[in-house]
Structure formats: C-alpha cells, structure tokens
A and B are shown apart, each in its own frame.
Chain A
Amino acid sequence: RKEVEQDPGPFNVPEGATVAFNCTYSNSASQSFFWYRQDCRKEPKLLMSVYSSGNEDGRFTAQLNRASQYISLLIRDSKLSDSATYLCVVNPYLSGNTGKLIFGQGTTLQVKP
C-alpha cells in the first residue's frame, strides 16, 4: 500500500466549476500535511498547509480528518490557470524537520474554457 494515495485523474472541468480532490495516508503518526501544486514540467510549489480545523485561502479550502487519515482540497470557481497537478504531501515528523516529505502521485486538473 502506498503511504499517500491520490486518484491521478485527470479531472476535466469547465471554467467556474467546483472540484474536490481527496487523498489518504497510511501513517497515523503523521504530523503535518500540505498541498503542493506542480505545473507541467516545472517544480512543485507549496499551495497551502492543511490544518485539523480546516483552512481556506481564497478559492481554495483544505481539510484534514485525522480519524479517517484523509485530506481534501476544494477549488471553487475554477480558472484556466488552475490547470496543474496537485500533490498531496505528508510530513511524518514533528515540525522543524521538513526534509522527508511523502508525496502522493498527484491529481491532474484540466480546466476547460
């Protein structure tokens, strides 16, 4: 079983749509969680951290369910520029040690006009 599992997609949605990505992780002792975005043939970049209380950044909402070991990302009012691969990322260590992040396979989003 993979440590972090995501549906690779692709998710093809029209502009303005709401789309949700899910991710599960296997290590219940994992400490912190993130969503990274990776554009085609580019490096991953941090999109947002994920907190137990849930957090929102503009059109993006991330949620964590520790009991179910489940992370989600919701994108509202999709833009063409949202087209990318979204990587679910888990840090199995206490904060202060970010070296070994565990990445999911990534979910590809294609927003169509």
Chain B
Amino acid sequence: DAGVTQSPTHLIKTRGQQVTLRCSPKSGHDTVSWYQQALGQGPQFIFQYYEEEERQRGNFPDRFSGHQFPNYSSELNVNALLLGDSALYLCASSLKQGNTGELFFGEGSRLTVL
C-alpha cells in the first residue's frame, strides 16, 4: 500500500523563478492538502483540493496555486519566488468522507531559494 509520495525531494531555485511540486496521495484517498513548514516552525496550511477544486485556503498569496488531477494527484505551483519561500513543503492526503481526523503526510519537498 503506497503512502503519500512527493517529488522532487530537494530543489534549489533563485528569486523570481517558478517552481512546481508534485504529490500522489495515499491509495484510496481523495483529498490533498498542502502545508509549508519553515525551519523551527510547525506546518502552515496552504490549501486543500477535493474533486479537482480548491476547497479551503490558508493565508498565502496568490503566487501559490495548485491543481488536482482526476487520479487525485496534485501539484503546488509557486511563482515569483522569494527568499522567504524557502521551506519544507508537505503534502497530506485524507479521505473526505468517514475519516478519523488523521492526515497522512509525504516526506516533503525541501525548497531553497537563493
């Protein structure tokens, strides 16, 4: 049973560039959420996708956008990168209906912006 998988695991970008991060949810899960975790901080909610639509959004600018595909996988896009975007980006999957309140996280994509 495959867990949540993310790619790439590490990447380095420069200010102003754009980045796309990818996530495949745990088998059987239909909901994907993205979190940003800065060093020494807890994860912060970016947005959630269900049925290919953004359902909830945290306090992040429009530079952060996403997409969910029919197979439930998801992408996170960040435009016009800033130094402050350097963080671990975590994808989490869950089941919309009948869930227990548990999120399953991938190992994350570690983004460094220079």
Contacts and interface: CB of A to CB of B under 8 A. Distances in A.
A32 B43 contact: no
How many B residues are at the interface, by size bracket?
20 to 34
Nearest to A108: B40
Nearest to A31: B101
A34 B97 CA distance: 19
Interface stretch (B14-22, B61-69, B70-78, B104-112): B104-112
A93 to B, nearest CB: 9
Interface stretch (A12-20, A41-49, A56-64, A76-84): A41-49
B86 interface: no
Contacts of A97: 96
A91 B92 CA distance: 14
B56 interface: yes
Contacts, number: 65
A34 B105 contact: no
Given A99-B45, A100-B48, A32 B105 contact: no
Interface residues of A, number: 24
Contacts of B44: 103
Given A34-B101, A102-B45, A105-B42, A44 B90 contact: yes
Interface string A14-58: 000000000000000000101000000011111001000000000
Interface of A: 4, 8, 32, 34, 42-46, 49, 87, 91, 95-106
